[in-house]
A and B are shown apart, each in its own frame.
Chain A
Amino acid sequence: MALINVAAREIHGKIVYYGPGLCGKTTNLQYIHGKIPTGTKGDLLSIATETERTLFFDFLPLDLGKVQGFTIRFHLYTVPGQVLYERTRIAVLNGADGVVFVADAQRERLQDNLTSLKELAQNISQSGKRFLDYPLVMQYNKMDLPNALPTPILDRYLNTIRVPRFEATAFNGQGVFETLRAICKLVTNKL
């Protein structure tokens, strides 16, 4: 939930990067952490397995500084994408103010994307919120790969509710900040 602390003059928002395993959620946060100026970011916290797969979550606090006297902070999280971690995803999604759905654009991952997106919609609905009204941005990642599906096809299958969507290649940063800006603005619009 967004926390507006008038006494401390701080506004906190929680943004969760969601999507199937190996779609690039952690890569998004790593790129952001690598490029954001030091004073704007905290340490990137990753709870991962020995093989560098996300076990619980990654966490990156970002500080926008003062806006009309309020310090605005966004807390970015990723969920573990592997199927067996469904209950962990619910735990991390708890209290989120907005979600970035990271889809893997590769042809053979379409079904994984659909399954993950359906699960996200269910989890948001079960938390008492309307999925259609929820601050959601979609990112089609790995668009540089030769087996990536074209954007119109990804739109047709994944973005039927027509949320803002961005093509990306997260490992080199393409589309990463465009996605971040879009979700941060959607969250601030809801304050």
Chain B
Amino acid sequence: MAPGWRVVKSMLGHFDPHLTQVIIDEETASSIDGVLRQLIRDSQATSGCVLDRAGQIITWDGPAYDGQRMQLGALIAGTYASTREVARILQEGGFRTLLQEGAREKIFTEAVGDHWLVSLIFGRHTALGLVKVLCNRATVDLQQVLVKAMERQTLRPRLRDAGLEIVAHDTIDLIFRNETEK
């Protein structure tokens, strides 16, 4: 058992089927990082990320867009979600990929299973065909890693046992106050 997993097992609660969560332990993070790094290297992309369909970035690799990555994640996931609704109206099973093409940068996004996305940002010197092929291969590896992570977390103990909930509530009270309450 990886050390990170021991940490999370001691702090987090059992799986709540009504609020789907994903826990990325160190072993999972390392595997995802490895797949993403190789994908970026082989495709000669500049940056890439793996994110969930809610728009939360699991891992980012590459130097660009520091400080705007959360916004990018929200926009990529939102755009992908809207294409899924377009597919529904067209009575398509779904669009697995999404290409956004600008004069300088392109973003290629592909679904990883039903819950995640992988996105690559690349310039005009990178071949789109190569990105598509390599991305498609990487999604298979990424899905295996993430499905295993989902399976492992079903037996986790509760977050509130460790008192994190109480401390989190105190922090919420402290930070989210009106000026009149300070």
Contact = CB atoms under 8 A, between A and B. Distances in A.
Contact of B71 (A2, A3, A37, A61): A61
Interface string B39-74: 000000000000011111011000000011011001
Nearest to B81: A91
Task: Please report whether the interface of chain A is mostly helix, strand, loop or mixed according to DSSP.
Answer: mixed
A8 B171 CA distance: 20
A59 B71 contact: yes
A68 B162 contact: yes
A65 B171 contact: yes
B133 to A, nearest CB: 28
Contacts of B176: 36, 177, 180-181, 184
Contacts of B173: 181
B165 A189 contact: yes
Given A7-B4, A57-B78, A180-B176, A87 B22 contact: no
A126 B141 CA distance: 30
A61 B54 CA distance: 13
A190 interface: yes
B25 A7 contact: yes
B12 interface: yes
B85 interface: yes
A67 B159 CA distance: 12
A48 interface: no
B74 to A, nearest CB: 5
Interface stretch (A128-136, A143-151, A158-166): A128-136
B171 A43 contact: no
B97 to A, nearest CB: 17
Contacts of B84: 91
Interface string B1-40: 0001101100111001011111111101110000000000
Contact of B26 (A7, A56, A181, A190): A7
Q: Chain A interface: which size bin?
A: 35 or more
Q: Which of B12, B159, B173, B179 has the most CB of A within 10 A?
A: B159
A68 B11 contact: yes
Contacts of B21: 1-4, 191
B26 A95 contact: no
Nearest to B67: A42
A90 interface: yes
B58 A97 contact: no
A6 B74 contact: no
B8 A4 contact: yes
B162 A3 contact: no
Q: Which of A61, A176, A188, A189 has the most CB of B within 10 A?
A: A188
A6 B4 contact: yes
A72 interface: yes
B165 A191 contact: yes
Contacts of B59: 8
7 contacts: A2-B19, A3-B22, A6-B24, A8-B59, A14-B56, A59-B71, A185-B168
Task: Across the A-B interface, give the 7 residue pairs with the lowest CB-CB distance, nearest first.
Answer: A95-B54, A7-B29, A91-B81, A87-B85, A191-B159, A2-B21, A12-B56
Given A5-B24, A95-B52, 5 more contacts: A1-B19, A3-B24, A6-B26, A68-B164, A73-B70
